[in-house]
Structure 1
Amino acid sequence: MIGRLNHIAIAVPDLAAASAKYRDLLGAKVGQPQALPEHGVTVVFVDTGNTKVELLEPLGEASPIAAFLAKNPAGGMHHICFEVPDIAAAAATLTQGGARVLGDGTPKTGAHGNPVLFLHPKDFDGTLIELEQVPA
C-alpha cells in the first residue's frame, strides 16, 4: 500500500534558526517558509535529493506542534510521511485492519497541495504516520 518515503518531519522551536543550520552547516537546499493555518504550522522543506525533511514550527498557540514542543522544548522528530496512490482506499484498508485515522477521517490538503491523513501513533509503534496521496 505505501509508496516511497515522502518526508520526515521535525518540530523545531525556531524555524529560521533550524533552516539556517540545514542550509549553512549541512549545505542543503532549503525552501521558503509556508504557513499552513489549517494544520496550525509553518513549514520549510529541506531537499535531500532522495526525500525531504520538513521543519515544523507552531503557527499560533493552538497548534499541535506547540503541545509537542511543550513536552520536547528542543524539538524532535514529529512524524514520517509515506506516499499512497489512493488515500481513501488506504484509509479504508487501515481502519478495517484496526488502525485509527486521526481527526474526522476526512483528508485535508497538505503542504504539497495533496490530500493527507494522519494515523494514530499508538497503532504504529509510537510513530505518528502521515499518508499523502500523490498523483500517479
Structure 2
Amino acid sequence: MKLGRLNHVGVAVPDMDAAISFYRDTMGAEVITEPFDMPEQGVKVCFVDTPGLDGSWGTQVELLSPLSEESPVAGFLAKNPLGGQHHLCFEVPDIDTARSEFEAMDKRILGPTRIGAHGTPIFFVHPKDMNGILTEIMETPKAHG
C-alpha cells in the first residue's frame, strides 16, 4: 500500500449551520458546498474547500452531521458533544487493489466498498488497525486526474 493524497478530514458537527458559519466567518473559507443528505450512510455532508499552494484545489474539510440517532456520527457526537475529527481520507488510484492490499495485511475493513460523497468508491478501515484513526480510503476522483 502506498500513501496517496490526503483528500479530506472528516469532522463531526452537532450543528451544520453553525459549523458552516464558523468556517466562513472565523476561518475565512470562500468555497463551501451546499449541504446534502446521504441517507445510505446516515449523514448530512458539506465540504469546505481549502486552497492549494499554487492556487489550485487543496484538501477539504468534510462536515458531517447525523440524519438520525442510528447514524454512526450520532454515536460519535454522543461521546464528543462538541464534535471533532471523525476520520482522515486518503486517495488511491484503484479501490479494489487497495482493499485487497489492506485485507492481505489483516486490516479490518468496516463494511462493503460503496460510493462516497465525492461520487467515487470508498471503504473505511478500523481505527485499531490505523494508528487510532478511522481511515477512509477513496478512489481518486476522475476530475483530479
Q: TM-score, normalised by structure 1?
A: 0.95
Q: 1:97 aligns with which of 84, 95, 105?
A: 105
Q: How many Å apart are 1:2 and its aligned residue?
A: 2.9
1:13 partner amino acid = P
Q: TM-score, normalised by structure 2?
A: 0.89
Q: Which residue of 2 aligns with 1:125?
A: 131
2:3 and 2:139 map into 1 onto residues whose CA distance is: 10
Q: How many Å apart are 1:34 and its aligned residue?
A: 1.1
Q: 1:116 aligns with which of 119, 122, 141?
A: 122
Q: 2:90 aligns with which of 47, 58, 82?
A: 82
RMSD: 0.9
Q: Which residue of 1 aligns with 2:32?
A: 30
Q: How many Å apart are 1:26 and its aligned residue?
A: 1.2
Unmatched 5+ stretches in structure 2: 52-57
Structure 1 segments (4+ residues) deviating >3 Å: none
Alignment of 1:2-81 (within 5 A): 2-28=3-29, 29-49=31-51, 50-81=58-89
1:63 and 1:88 map into 2 onto residues whose CA distance is: 26
Unmatched 5+ stretches in structure 1: none
